[in-house]
């Protein structure tokens, strides 16, 4: 069977997805999008970098934007439970020939840089500089009133292999899409550490590439509000898909693209998954309600476009069924 029994004792303790680093070509255009439009809080800036966080977050940053000639997804960051877990992680990656080294990351403590088997660049850390709690500073709420980073979603050329690797690290599946073949294959899977529907997800496609980062808003009204904001402040072309409600995860959503094409999902109203015996929900690949509970399909760009990872060879997917797309 494609889905196996979960790993109860992972080799090191990952708490949650923590941050993402993007290379962007125009820092001021990115500031206008993330800060002025979406409502991210600016924690620190310099001529080459913006460090951003959301209203609920006390960590120094959950998005890092670095000026670069080429737009890329530079790293996916994960918080671990202890400094000892960092040493365990280095030993685990090294034993598998994947390589892992400690690097200097501003505003973070010891940070381990590694890559998964497909070349996705990962960061693991335990401690990060802290910032003022803004949760009840309601005068600072603007844009989509984003609360926190929730997940990352990646294109994988082999979803089964990606699932098995991250399952070894203790990520637990919550929902998955499977083909109707005699020998069913996983098309996409959602996996978590923190007790939501996902910290990381994988979708069949040219990869590895980052499909999107998901950020959590308090209510669906925050998502409807940012639709009005974007439609009247010059960002209407940046709205790609939605608003709507997913069948998978039950989340109310809106997908938007930043000036370099990096995709952000505004996301709310998923459900709790902390019970260790929670059975993952299976969806048929050809069920249109898995994409959107209301039945309308995603645009073609949503299945084909993503952010590249530096140094990772993009490969053709092992499966080639055609998804349901909007005309």
* Residue at token pair 């069949």: 204
- Using CA atoms, how far residue 282 sits from 85, 197, 219, in Å, is 32, 13, 26
Cβ atoms of residues 232 and 226 within 8 Å: no
Q: State pLDDT tens for residues 216-265.
A: 999 999 999 999 999 999 999 999 999 999 989 999 999 999 999 999 99
Q: What is the mean pLDDT of residues 35-44?
A: 98
- Using CA atoms, how far residue 272 sits from 3, 99, 130, 146, 275, in Å, is 20, 34, 26, 19, 8
Rounded CA-CA distance 130/194 in Å is 20
- Give the pLDDT score at 5: 79
- Report the b/e string of 87-111 with b at 16+ CB within 10 A: ebbbebbeeeeeebeeeebebbebb
Question: 179 falls in which pLDDT band (50, 70, 90)?
Answer: confident
Closest CA relative to residue 212, chosen from 122, 152, 300, 252: 152
Question: 199 falls in which pLDDT band (50, 70, 90)?
Answer: very high
What SS3 state is found at 157? coil
- Give the pLDDT score at 326: 63
Closest CA relative to residue 155, chosen from 210, 117, 232, 192: 210
Q: State pLDDT tens for residues 95-135.
A: 999 989 999 999 999 999 999 999 999 999 999 999 999 99
Rounded CA-CA distance 175/188 in Å is 9
Rounded CA-CA distance 166/191 in Å is 8
Q: State pLDDT tens for residues 45-95.
A: 999 999 999 999 999 999 999 999 999 999 999 999 999 999 999 999 999
Q: What is the location of CATH 3.10.180.10 in the chain?
A: 14-125, 144-308
How would you classify the pairing of strands 111-115 and 121-125? antiparallel
Q: State pLDDT tens for residues 130-175.
A: 999 999 999 999 999 999 999 999 999 999 999 999 999 999 999 9
Residue length of the chain: 327
CATH class of the domain at 144-308: alpha beta
Rounded CA-CA distance 204/97 in Å is 25
Cβ atoms of residues 126 and 79 within 8 Å: yes
Percentage of the chain exceeding pLDDT 70: 98
Q: For residue 293, is pLDDT > 90?
A: no
Q: 14-125: which CATH topology?
A: 2,3-Dihydroxybiphenyl 1,2-Dioxygenase; domain 1 (3.10.180)
- Give the pLDDT score at 284: 87
Torsion of CA 231, 235, 238, 244, to 10 degrees: -30
How would you classify the pairing of strands 14-24 and 63-67? parallel
Structure tokens at 149: 């980073």
What SS3 state is found at 52? strand
Q: For residue 1, is pLDDT > 60?
A: no
């Amino acid at each position: 069977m494609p889905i196996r029994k979960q790993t109860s004792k992972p080799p090191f303790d990952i708490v949650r997805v923590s941050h993402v680093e993007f290379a962007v070509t125009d820092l001021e255009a990115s500031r206008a999008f993330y800060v002025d439009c979406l409502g991210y809080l600016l924690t620190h800036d310099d001529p080459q970098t913006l460090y951003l966080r959301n209203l609920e977050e006390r960590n120094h940053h959950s998005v890092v934007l670095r000026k670069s000639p080429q737009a890329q997804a530079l790293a996916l960051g994960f918080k671990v439970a202890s400094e000892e877990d960092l040493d365990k992680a280095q030993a685990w990656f090294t034993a598998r020939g994947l390589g892992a080294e400690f690097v200097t990351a501003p505003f973070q403590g010891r940070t381990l840089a590694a890559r998964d088997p497909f070349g996705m660049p990962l960061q693991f850390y335990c401690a990060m500089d802290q910032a003022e709690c803004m949760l009840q500073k309601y005068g600072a709420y603007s844009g989509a009133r984003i609360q926190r980073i929730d997940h990352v979603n990646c294109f994988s050329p082999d979803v089964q292999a990606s699932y098995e690797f991250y399952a070894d690290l203790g990520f637990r599946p919550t929902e998955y899409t499977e083909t109707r073949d005699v020998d069913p294959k996983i098309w996409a899977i959602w996996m978590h550490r923190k007790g939501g529907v996902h910290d990381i997800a994988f979708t069949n496609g040219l990869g590895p590439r980052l499909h999107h980062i998901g950020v959590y808003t308090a209510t669906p009204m925050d998502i409807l509000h940012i639709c009005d904001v974007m439609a009247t402040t010059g960002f209407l072309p940046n709205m790609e898909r939605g608003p709507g409600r997913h069948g998978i995860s039950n989340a109310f959503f809106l997908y938007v693209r930043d000036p370099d094409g990096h995709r952000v999902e505004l996301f709310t109203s998923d459900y709790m998954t902390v019970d260790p015996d929670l059975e993952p929900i299976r969806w048929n690949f050809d069920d249109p309600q898995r994409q959107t509970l209301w039945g309308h399909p995603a645009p073609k760009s949503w299945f084909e476009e993503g952010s590249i990872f530096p140094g990772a060879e993009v490969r053709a997917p092992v499966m080639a069924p055609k998804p349901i797309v909007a005309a």
